[in-house]
Chains A and B, each alone.
Chain A
Amino acid sequence: MSDKVSLSLTINGAQHALTVAPERTLLDVLREELRMTGTRRGCDAGDCGACTVLVDGLPMLSCLSLPARLGGRDIRTIEGVESGGELHPVQRALVQHGAVQCGFCMSGIVLAAKALLARNPSPTLDEVRHALGSNVCRCSGYARVVEAIASVGGRP
């Protein structure tokens, strides 16, 4: 018989009390229990980055994270990136640069970029490429995505 673990998660600043089987991943919980479906499931193995969330500001893979261990940590998902109905500058830049195609990678890319810009407000194109090292995009070829993110910090 599986244990159920009771826990409280802080997601986008709000507390969520949950009782889950310990093997359920954060991705399972976000998508299935909390119906926060903006976090995408692309591989369930940490290879695609579509499920990226920020934990205490760092990009992590929700498909490899067990929520039982995340009590008290600050979890930020794509649903918590806008503020006051305003797009985050990186979201706005991706839209304006025509960088968005199928969009399935976008939640993860927005979060990875947000984390980068928080510690490096004016990244170079190369720094952006490195920050996207966990995020596969199969549509864009990355060029417009990287340029859009770099533009937020004032780089070309």
Chain B
Amino acid sequence: MRYAEPETVEEGLALLSTHDDARCLAGGASLVSRMNAGQVAPAMLVSLHRIDELATTTESAEGLWLGAMSIHRAVATEARLRGAMEVVRSAASQLAHPAIRNMATLGGSLCLADPKTELPAALVAASARVEVAGPAGRRSLPVEQLLVGAFQTSLGKGELLTRVFLPRGLGGAVGHHLRFSRVSADYPTVSVSLVLAMDGETCSHARVVLGSCGPVPLHVDAADAVLVGSRLEARDVAEAGRLLVQASAPLDDVRGSAEYRRMLIPRLLGRALSQARELAHV
């Protein structure tokens, strides 16, 4: 196994382009675990930890850019992640367990594209965009377009994820993340990430994204549309839940059968909405 520690994105790209089986090493939480188990043995590891740019957070009027190498703990304690962006902060503060949150990174989570994990769903809920650097320069795309399948991203050969943009979202919107798991230190059975805005008792904006309910985070425009303009009454929630269930292809594993996950979708949606609504009214 070859190993390199580039200090700039450009050096990193050069290394990735010269080795067929090069893998980026971000926080290591998943890749090293899989290496330990003998499931992967990349010919080249490109560790990204020396690239300062990837660990930088910058703020603009529109929102916040988080470097791909931001660890979950840093995301969880980033006080500027308020309003709609709170959904990401909330997910990062709850996922896995403390030591993993001290190691695993935003970019690592995204590029792994593991349908069991919840941060990608929270990023979709936050309408995040990602910046990708590659041989042809940099491009930016919505996070949904990065996550194309279970453990599959749209990253091309020789590309790497540099940073994630979280838009501030609507004024008055709140972000909320609800996870349900067998035990605390586990992947969620189902997670619900949402951004919600209320106009009095009427929902003026909703964006609901589910984790573990398909190969990629599940977002259904029609479900959001049911909620927007409604008073989030039981039948509205049920209808949105029904649309989400209909579009879902949940995981079926030791954390819950697909059928159980379908049962949980409307139930957790209702709970997540009422919790978010409380926050919206604070």
Contacts and interface: CB of A to CB of B under 8 A. Distances in A.
A–B contact (CB under 8 angstroms): yes
Contact of A134 (B33, B36, B45, B97): B97
Most chain A C-beta atoms within 10 Å of own C-beta, residue among B41, B99, B185: B99
Nearest to B50: A69
A47 B30 CA distance: 11
Nearest to A58: B102
Contact of B185 (A55, A68, A112, A134): A134
Given A3-B3, A22-B3, A64-B32, A131 B98 contact: yes
Contacts of A64: 28-29, 32-33, 36, 103
Interface string B258-276: 0000000000000000000
A44 B5 CA distance: 24
Contacts of A60: 99, 102-103
Most chain B C-beta atoms within 10 Å of own C-beta, residue among A46, A63, A65, A131: A46
A103 interface: no
A100 interface: no
Interface in A117-156: 130-131, 133-134
Nearest to B3: A22
A90 to B, nearest CB: 16
A134 B1 contact: no
A2 B35 CA distance: 14
Contacts of A68: 3, 5, 47
Interface string A95-128: 0000000000000000010000000000000000
B98 A61 contact: no
A21 B47 CA distance: 14
Interface string B196-214: 0000000000000000000
Contacts of B178: none
B98 A130 contact: yes
B243 interface: no
Contact of B33 (A2, A46, A130): A46
Contacts of A79: none
A63 B98 contact: no
Interface in A38-63: 44-47, 49, 52, 55, 58-61, 63
Nearest to B32: A64
B37 interface: yes
A40 to B, nearest CB: 14
B1 A66 contact: no
B37 A61 contact: no
A41 to B, nearest CB: 10
A59 B99 contact: yes
Interface in B34-61: 35-37, 41, 45, 47, 49
A60 B29 CA distance: 10
Interface of B: 1-3, 5, 25, 28-29, 32-33, 35-37, 41, 45, 47, 49, 73, 97-100, 102-103, 184-185
Given A5-B3, A64-B36, A133-B184, 18 more contacts: A3-B1, A3-B2, A21-B1, A22-B2, A44-B36, A49-B97, A52-B99, A55-B102, A60-B102, A61-B29, A61-B103, A64-B33, A66-B32, A68-B5, A112-B98, A133-B97, A134-B99, A134-B185
Nearest 4 CB-CB pairs, A to B? A22-B3, A134-B99, A134-B97, A133-B97
20 contacts: A3-B3, A5-B3, A21-B1, A25-B36, A45-B37, A46-B100, A49-B99, A52-B99, A58-B102, A59-B98, A60-B99, A64-B29, A64-B33, A64-B103, A66-B28, A69-B5, A133-B185, A134-B97, A134-B99, A134-B100
